[in-house]
Structure 1
Amino acid sequence: MSLAAFPASAFETLSFAFPDLDQDIQDKITAYSALVKTKTDGKTEGPDVMAAALSDYGIIVETLYGSGYYGPEVSIRIDGREAADIPLLSTPQQVNRVDVLVRHGPSFKFSKAEVTPLAPGTDLPEDFRAGQRARADTISGAAQAAVDGWRNIGYPKADLTREDITANHETRRVSAEMGVTTGPRLRFGRILNVGKSNVRGAALRRIAGLPTGEIYDPQQVKDAVDRLTRTGTFATVTLREKDQPNADGTLDYTLDVVDSKPRRIGAGAEISSLEGLSLTGYWLHRNILGGAERLRFDASITDITDQPDTLDYTLTGRLDVPAVIGPETNGYFETELQHLQEPNYDLDSIELTLGITRQLTEYLYTEIGVGYLYSETKDDLGDRTFELLTLPMKAEYDRRDNEFDPRHGFYILTEATPFMNLRDDPNGARLYGDFRGYLALGARERSVLAGRVMLGSVVGPDIDQTPPDYLFYSGGAGTVRGQPYQSLAIDLGNGDSIGGRSFAGLSAEFRQDIGESLGAVLFYDAGYIGRDSTPGGDDGEWHAGAGLGVRYKTGIGPLRFDVAMPAGGDTGEGVQIYLGIGQAF
């Protein structure tokens, strides 16, 4: 016997009794229950409760059928009266108690389980065979697998046209015989009736990339929809196959899209007790040239403090053009202007990059370009000018369940920027990797372990021949909380310092939910900067920071408040405070 009770706000009690019913089936019933939803939503008037009770008869029976029980007993009593027996014209206006009793009855097994014809390579559910539990879910799964098997090899009109399913209550056996009509094998035709959109029809077809003339493949249809959706230009995308194929064996499609609003703006802020205030903003225009292009400008002002010589300015403009080389490959042009007054150097630079991007899978994104970088720098080595021809490359693999507040999965970012020096210094490459993982703990998953490893290296030129912004530093909100920003660098003697050619960063967090909106975090960060290209050698130094944080959940991600202090190294002292939006990583 299992009993689940739900205390009420307007009526006294909603309870479920499940004698001898497996826990997973109990969980499904309460998860799908209209009574539970009505209660949770605060709809506790008599007519609302009555409608939910009547709906729950079907929901519960269907759930039990799905698990192979075809003779269940379901009783739903409203203040002691069976809901099904209450006349609709006599529905009570007030309800005090609802009791639900569910007895699953005998289980049924397959006497026969057959679906024909089957396409080569079709995998039916393992338990769709004589002698196994006759779950309705198994029957529907076998039917879907049979239809999908034919569709996957070029028969888009395959459909289930015969269902002969009989449950014998005396023998407790189910006979399931189903038949599939395959229809003809077809090839992709044209995309018709593009509909009302500010994107040109030719551009829509080019981005969709439906392979006209090739044998039908449902994955190609899904990929076409995904490509259109990823442009960000459309609020909805619907690609429908025509009811009737063409005489030449092709199948046409109709495409319906709803454009998103063309323009969007956004802003963000982050503050640190040592680094000061950082402000960011962006302006986005979708479909700026009529081909689903996207133009975006990002601006940031950082290190806003009471000191006049710390402000950093960055302005970036980027134009993304979909389907420049086939439907899968997009192009981009990016310009970045920077004026930085960092603790270890000052920099003014302009960078121009032309490249291509490709979404290789649902989770894997890649990017490669060719660029030109001009920078004028001032540091402890003096005033210098750099001109580089670059080949920036990036790969991003994202399996997080949520970008701003992840609880499961992992994230991998790798970057490589080979560069050719157009002046006298040697050529080389800058390498960087960012690896993050998340694990939720407990039955309710209210605790999360989060870890991060960052690695960086500059190979080729010596430390004094490398642009300062290509070198690595540690300390601050993005690396080691509790340590001053860019406080760990290479000591050149006489009070002079410069960034390192290698970097390693480690972060660990334990995140604990407190109630529905609040959370607490315990964290530890460590960072390493080395003179040589290999991280972790004897030529470098480590420092660390640790602290506590509070998170307040909002609609755009958790509001972050962290308090940290040094836990190793001699680069800082005292307490640092950080405030921002989203988890630290």
Structure 2
Amino acid sequence: MDRGVVVSARLSASVIVFVAACAGAALAETEFRLELPAPDAALSRALSQVSLSREAAGNKEADAQDLFGAARADYARLIGALYDEGRYGGTVSILIDGREAATIAPMDAPARIGKVEIRVDPGPVFRFSRATIGPLAPVTQLPPSFRVSEVARSSAIVAATGNGVSAWRDAGHAKAAVARQTITADHRNQELAAEIALDPGPQAWFGTLQMTGNERLRSARLAKIAGFPSGEVFSPAALEEVRNRLRRTGIFSAVTLTEADTLRDGRLLDGELTVVEAKLRRLGFGAEVSTSDGGKLSGYWLHRNLLGGGEKLRLDAEVSGVGVGSGGTDYSFGARLDRPATFSPDTAAFLKTEIAREHEDDYTLSGYGLSFGLSHIFSAKLSAEAGIGYEWAKIEDGAGELIYRQMTFPMSATWENRNLPADATRGTYAKLDLMPFYGLGTTGSGARLQGDFRAYRGFGANDRFVLAGRAQIGGVFGSDLAETPRDYLFYSGGGGTVRGQPYQALGVRELQGGTLHTGGTRFVGLSAELRAGVTEKIGVVAFYDAGYISASDFFGDGGDWHSGAGLGLRYKTPIGPIRLDVAAPVDGSTGDGPQLYLGIGQAF
């Protein structure tokens, strides 16, 4: 095929795309035109999208030298775009103030450019007269467009070649490659013959991993965390798993894993790993405020490699309920130590503890807990955790003082499939927590179940509109209400459940003959939001929340519902959107008047 540049003859029935831009003193005003012999909106759009001249002409900071360089580069880009449309007989002419750009020597580049004209004669559409590739691995999926009589798009040839090589690599042939490629254009019959020969090469097994760059992390621990599958049949997916394991530890700021250029002993593929360790320590903080929940300040301190084996220590502190009219200020402090690659590369061991002092409307809690266990990552989307712990709490309320002590067996599973967890526009999220507990002394025994399920769907250009939904469910089973630790019970109201209703406004009155307000053993929360982008940074939200609490069953006569609705503003920042919501009660007897919520990140 001839990829040369041909200056086109005079064109008729022009389709013109016009862009004018101011580009500083050297480029006062540049006019851009793209002309075709006949109207073709799709082709005009495809050519415009790859043109660097169009982009430079619309850039106010581009000068004449930038535009000249873009024009010379456009010959190859536009020819490539024509090939992708199945047009192999086209011509391209690029005129700079009437002079063909290809004929202007680089040293004679103009100091000022007033007009750039691109004239394209696309020529006829070619179709495949032959489309063969082989030998193919058994599971190869070729693109439907790579077949006889289809439009001979260059992208179809590229896709077929890539799929053929990838299928052999997936089958363990690490050095599969293209052995020969013959592409012949028949201009008389407007046909293209494509013949691609593949060389699968021998099946390969993983060899050894060469590691460099680790300074504080011990090499033995780096190898354990990476989990390079030495001795197993080669798989590109296995290599990507190694990369993902290293990245999610948070120990490294950069991870590069490459394959050796050749097979050792004709069948072993060694890996070459280079890492750059991140700073050892990190400090973070957050803040939220609402008229019902009060203010909340939180912060953490993180050490990424405490003992040289990748151990991660995180200390968290939180003060909430600041300035709230009822209850009081709550305090909590927690510490968690994680050791990656325990028992297997995808399994981590953890030890955590927490102490807390909470002032709620109906009780005051002082307590602590200690637990240890294992977490496992099953895939990029699914992870789980299980452990054993001990908790102690002293409850002070209108009935006096109670002590709760229990052994706990917490388990959780998390499904994360959102495109952007902090500001999702599509995908799903689910977390299910199950905690059986065995009471000591007067504390009851049973299990606490809690679920959080979220879904997102974007609409319009760049997901300008997003419909988001959330469902929460909770229950305590097996223990009587009076014997259940008070912080295991459920309330509704506030920023985490029903906006527009006061914080923890909805509970039950079951204890002490129905005179003591407390949490329920059943909870359901429903939330829906419609998010709309006004500008690139600013968005608006309309939302509705509802909550249900009961001491007996789900959706029975013994429970109560309440709800709230409102509007909000969002301002996007690098750390997540700043959230401002104003909500008011819609249904129920627990609230009166609007509530204001301010924080960082979406409500869910």
Structure 1 equivalent of residue 178 of structure 2: 160
Question: Match for residue 565 of structure 1?
Answer: 584
- Measure how far apart 1:186 and its partner are: 2.0
Is 1:63 aligned to residue 84 of structure 2?
no
3-state SS in 2 of match to 1:479: coil
2:11 corresponds to: none
Match of 1:284 in 2: 302
Equivalent AA in structure 2 for residue 574 of structure 1: G
Quote the Cα distance in structure 2 between the aligned partners of 1:29 and 1:583.
39
2:388 matches 1:370:
yes
Tell me the CA shift for residue 265 of structure 1: 0.7
Deviation (angstroms), 1:60: 2.3
Q: Which amino acid aligns with 2:447?
A: A
Structure 2 distance, partners of 1:91, 1:498, is 81
Counting only pairs closer than 5 Å after superposition, residues 566-585 of structure 1 correspond to structure 2 as 566-585=585-604
- Where do 1:213-292 residues align within 5 Å? 213-247=231-265, 249-292=267-310
Identify which range, 198-207 or 57-66, moves more after superposition: 57-66
Match of 1:503 in 2: 523
- 3-state SS of the aligned residue for 1:138? helix
Pick closer, same or farther for the CA change 1:180–1:371 going to 2, 3 Å: same
Matched residue SS, 1:430 = strand
1:566 match: secondary structure: strand
SS at match of 1:93: coil
Partner of 1:541: 560
Give the aligned partner of residue 181 of structure 1: 199
User: Which digits, 9 at most, give the CA deviation of each residue in 1:525-568, with x for residues without a partner?
Assistant: 11111111x33222110111111111111121111111111111
Worse-superposed segment, 25-34 or 278-287: 25-34
CA RMSD for the aligned pairs? 2.2
Q: CA deviation at 1:248?
A: 7.3
Distance change >3 Å, CA 51–CA 471, structure 1 → 2: same
> In 2, Cα distance between the equivalents of 1:349 and 1:102?
76
Q: Which residue of the partner structure matches residue 413 of structure 1? A: 431
Q: Distance in 2 between matches of 1:121 and 1:511?
A: 42
Given that 1:508 and 1:525 are in contact with CA atoms closer than 8 Å, whether structure 2 keeps it comes out as: yes
Paired position in structure 2 for 1:192? 210
Cα pair 1:454 1:506 within 8 Å, conserved:
yes
Q: Is the 8 A contact 1:455 1:505 kept in 2?
A: yes
| Counterpart residue number, 2:455 | 437
Answer whether contact 1:344 1:499 (CA < 8 A) is retained: no
SS of structure 2 residue aligned to 1:8: strand
Equivalent position amino acid for 1:334 in 2 = K
* Among 393, 397, 400, the residue aligned to 1:382: 400
Query: Residues 199-231 of structure 1, C-alpha deviation per residue, up to 9 Å, x if partnerless?
Result: 111111111212222221221111111111111
Aligned to 1:512: 532
Q: 1:275 to 1:72 in 2, by over 3 A?
A: same
Q: What is the deviation of 1:475?
A: 0.6
Hey, what's the Cα distance between the residues in 2 that align with 1:84 and 1:410? 52
* Structure 1 counterpart of 2:110: 92
Residues 340 and 346, structure 1, Cα contact 8 Å, conserved in 2: yes
Which of 547, 552, 569 is the equivalent residue of 2:571?
A: 552
**Distance in 1 between residues matched to 2:543 and 2:551, nearest whole Å:** 28
Which letter maps to 1:542?
W
Q: C-alpha displacement at 1:41, in angstroms?
A: 5.2
C-alpha deviations, 1:323-359, integer Å up to 9, x for none?
A: 1011121111111111111223211111112111122
CA gap of 1:38–1:340, structure 2 versus 1, over 3 A, is farther
The answer as to whether partners of 2:327 and 2:360 remain within 8 angstroms in 1 is: no
Q: The residue matched to 1:323 in structure 2 has which SS?
A: coil
TM-score between both structures, scaled by the size of structure 2: 0.91
CA contact (8 A) 1:117 1:180 kept: yes
Instruction: Verify: 1:468 aligned to 2:481, yes or no.
Output: no
The secondary structure found in structure 1 opposite 2:222 is helix
- Output one character per residue of 1:490-521: Cα deviation in whole Å (capped at 9) or x when no partner: 02466520001111111111111112221111
Q: Distance in 1 between matches of 2:88 and 2:54?
A: 24
Question: Residue 524 of structure 1: which of 544, 550, 570 is its match?
Answer: 544
Aligned equivalents of 1:352, 1:149: Cα separation in 2: 49
Q: Helix, strand or coil for the counterpart of 2:463?
A: coil
- Mapped contact 2:566–2:581 kept (Cα < 8 A): yes
Moved more, 279-288 or 103-112: 103-112
* Counterpart residue type for residue 408 of structure 2: T
Deviations 1:182-209 (A, max 9, x none): 2222211111243443211111111121
Comparing 373-382 with 221-230, which one deviates more in the overlay? Answer: 373-382
Distance 1:270 1:436 in 2: 22
Q: State the distance in 1 between where 2:323 and 2:457 align.
A: 37
1:11-56, CA deviations, whole angstroms, 9 ceiling, x for partnerless residues?
Answer: 3544545654463x55554444323543565432111111122222
2:219 to 187, 194, 201: 201
Structure 1, gaps ≥5 residues long:
none
TM (norm. structure 1) is 0.94
Is 1:311–2:329 an aligned residue pair?
yes
Q: Contact between 2:442 and 2:483, CA under 8 Å: does it hold in 1?
A: no
What SS class does the counterpart of residue 38 from structure 1 fall into?
A: helix
Which residue identity is paired with 1:479?
T
Q: Deviations over 1:459-512 (max 9, x none)?
A: 111211111111100111111111110000102466520001111111111111
How has the CA–CA distance of structure 1 residues 481 and 27 changed in structure 2, closer, same or farther, with 3 Å as cutoff?
A: farther
One-letter code aligned to 1:122: T
Tell me which amino acid in the other structure corresponds to 2:590. Answer: T
CA gap of 1:335–1:408, structure 2 versus 1, over 3 A, is same
For the structure 1 residues 308 and 121, does the alpha-carbon distance in structure 2 shift closer, same or farther, using more than 3 Å as the test?
A: closer
The Cα shift of 1:109 comes to 1.5
CA contact (8 A) 2:22 2:59 kept: no
Matched residue type, 1:566: P
Q: Which stretches in structure 2 are left out of the alignment for 5+ residues?
A: 1-13, 24-28
Corresponding residue SS for 2:148: coil
Further displaced range: 66-75 or 267-276: 66-75
Return the alpha-carbon distance in structure 1 between the equivalents of residues 534 and 496 of structure 2.
Answer: 25
2:326–2:361 contact (8 Å) kept in structure 1: no
Count of residues in correspondence between the two structures: 583
Tell me whether 1:449 sits opposite 2:477 in the alignment: no
Contact 2:453–2:471 under 8 Å retained in 1: yes
The aligned counterpart of 2:502 is 484
How far 1:7 sits from its partner (Å)? Answer: 4.4
CA distance in 2, matches of 1:361, 1:22: 44
Q: CA deviation at 1:82?
A: 3.8
CA distance in 2, matches of 1:56, 1:337: 65
